[in-house]
């Protein structure tokens, strides 16, 4: 939470400052930003001689921790309870106890194990409360828990507060605000409300919505285009973009559909909020502060996979489909994808990929296993992905930026080191970026 914010119980979250954005302090524990144990890059890498042209700079990361960090076992207890109540309401079971026993076994079988995902963060206190004290979900509606409207209103309330906290006390108006989310929508949006309330009528608001887990790469592409456009128009003072991801997945607990793929999804996703800046490589006012250069992005829709992953708005909230074939289909294409990504950066996969840091989206343990094997890399190189999954879960579009923030904070990773980012989302889309530490 922010200094001078008054009663901390009235704040929605707090932030961990990875660079100079706004002064913040944190009261929740944050994972160590040092390289995971055994991670090969903790020894440092030689500065690269190859210098691809930079599209944009990325830095000033701020991770905002949602107010409630809940162990996976405790979340399972809540989810088993709402699944059991829904099963009784639909006549599948005659008693809550028998339904609860069944779904406890199913979550143990299909859910992401606490050994692989220890806790998740949430803005929704209901996970800690008995039904009669719920503030978002409706205990009188065991199927939809109050439906889309209650979730949308909560999202609107939380994101408005998130933006107000992030930009509190900022004296210079942002030139560009870019909002990224796939977990609810409202017009006017939270960044538009912020610009209006702060008297920033000329701040440009851009919204990158409903891409899903791979949206961090479209966000890079859109933000770098805004930066390049400002420079081309001779407006370098406008060549700065503030990017904010607000992914509040835990609002969408949905007991209506209780199939194994739904149990997998309910066991993976947590809330993730992060902010960072993107600016022109020609901007000398930023000084020599540690940041990334963006060298290339790439996206590829894997053929004949559109049915495998879906994310739709339904009456009960937002509904996800995750097919068990997803990891195998990703593995079939990931090598060619990485080759093309490196080629776009003017680099060679055979020469430059082996020494890069990997930031692979942890869509789930099986996806990480399949990508590791397909790329023929060691488990040690998967460390950043395993850690974010263990300590926060799948944060949708906010996941890769969380990994970038921690990688940039690890000063044992030397300037010149490449960071290979690979993320996945509906489509089935593979998206990637090559970053370089500077």
Helix orientation angle between 96-110 and 72-89, rounded to the nearest 10 degrees = 130
> Mean pLDDT for the chain?
88
- pLDDT-derived band at 182 (thresholds 50, 70, 90) equals very high
Tell me the pTM. Answer: 0.88
The pLDDT, as a whole number, for residue 53 is 74
The pLDDT, as a whole number, for residue 320 is 78
367-371 mean pLDDT: 97
8-17 b/e (C-beta count within 10 Å ≥ 16 → b): eeeebbbbbb
The pLDDT, as a whole number, for residue 54 is 81
Pairing of β 357-360 and β 418-425: parallel
Question: If you classify domain 286-437 with CATH, what class do you get?
Answer: alpha beta
347-358 mean pLDDT: 97
The pLDDT, as a whole number, for residue 47 is 42
Distances (CA, A) of 374 to 88, 211, 366, 371, 433: 43, 25, 12, 5, 18
* Lowest-confidence segment of 152-161, 257-266, 429-438 by average pLDDT: 257-266
Asked whether residue 5 carries a pLDDT value surpassing 70, the answer given is no
Measure the CA–CA gap between 137 and 393, rounded to whole angstroms. 22
Alpha carbon 418 to chain centroid distance? 21
- Radius of gyration of the chain measured on its C-alpha atoms: 21
The pLDDT, as a whole number, for residue 171 is 84
Q: Give the residue, 173 or 46, on which the prediction is more confident.
A: 173
Asked whether residue 23 carries a pLDDT value surpassing 60, the answer given is no
Helix orientation angle between 383-391 and 399-409, rounded to the nearest 10 degrees = 120
The pLDDT, as a whole number, for residue 301 is 96
- Supply 239's token pair: 């060549």
The pLDDT, as a whole number, for residue 288 is 67
Is 191 exposed, middle or buried, given 0-12, 13-18 or 19+ CB atoms closer than 10 A?
A: buried
Q: Tens digits of per-residue pLDDT, 62-104? A: 999 999 999 999 999 999 999 999 999 999 999 999 999 999 9
Q: Tens digits of per-residue pLDDT, 353-364? A: 999 999 999 999
| Residue ranges of domains in the chain | 286-437
Element (H, E) at 275: strand 271-279
- Residue keyed to tokens 């859109």: 222
């Amino acid at each position: 939470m922010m200094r001078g914010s008054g009663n901390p119980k009235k704040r929605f979250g707090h932030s961990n400052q990875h660079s100079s954005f706004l002064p913040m302090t944190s009261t929740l524990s944050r994972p160590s930003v040092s390289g995971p144990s055994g991670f090969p890059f903790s020894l440092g890498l030689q500065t690269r001689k190859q210098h691809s042209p930079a599209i944009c700079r990325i830095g000033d990361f701020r991770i905002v921790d949602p107010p409630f960090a809940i162990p996976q076992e405790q979340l399972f207890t809540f989810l088993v309870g709402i699944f059991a109540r829904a099963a009784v309401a639909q006549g599948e079971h005659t008693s809550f106890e028998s339904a609860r026993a069944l779904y406890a076994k199913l979550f143990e079988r299909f859910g992401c194990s606490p050994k692989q995902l220890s806790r998740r963060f949430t803005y929704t206190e209901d996970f800690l409360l008995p039904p009669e004290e719920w503030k978002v979900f409706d205990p009188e509606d065991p199927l939809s828990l109050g439906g889309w409207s209650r979730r949308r209103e909560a999202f609107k309330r939380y994101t408005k507060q998130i933006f107000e906290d992030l930009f509190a006390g900022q004296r210079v108006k942002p030139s560009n605000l870019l909002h990224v989310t796939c977990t609810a929508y409202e017009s006017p949006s939270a960044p538009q409300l912020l610009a209006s309330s702060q008297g920033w009528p000329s701040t440009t608001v851009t919204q990158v919505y409903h891409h899903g887990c791979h949206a961090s790469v479209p966000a890079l592409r859109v933000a770098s285009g805004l930066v390049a456009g400002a420079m081309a128009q001779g407006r370098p003072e406008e060549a700065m973009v503030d990017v904010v991801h607000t992914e509040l997945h835990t609002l969408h607990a949905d007991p209506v559909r209780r199939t194994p793929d739904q149990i997998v999804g309910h066991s993976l996703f947590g809330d993730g909020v992060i902010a960072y800046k993107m600016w022109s490589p020609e901007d000398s006012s930023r000084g020599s502060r540690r940041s990334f250069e963006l060298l290339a992005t790439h996206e590829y829709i894997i053929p004949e996979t559109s049915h495998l992953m879906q994310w739709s708005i339904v009456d009960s909230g937002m509904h996800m489909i995750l097919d068990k074939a997803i990891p195998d289909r990703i593995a079939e294409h990931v090598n060619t994808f990485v080759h093309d990504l490196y080629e776009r950066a003017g680099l060679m996969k055979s020469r430059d990929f082996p020494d890069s840091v990997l930031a692979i989206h942890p869509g789930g343990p099986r996806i990480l296993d399949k990508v590791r094997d397909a790329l023929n890399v060691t488990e040690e190189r998967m460390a950043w992905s395993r850690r974010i999954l263990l300590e926060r879960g799948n944060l949708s579009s906010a996941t890769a930026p969380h990994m970038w923030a921690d990688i940039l904070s690890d000063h044992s990773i030397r300037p010149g080191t490449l960071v290979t980012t690979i993320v996945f989302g509906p489509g089935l889309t593979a998206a990637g970026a090559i970053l370089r530490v500077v």
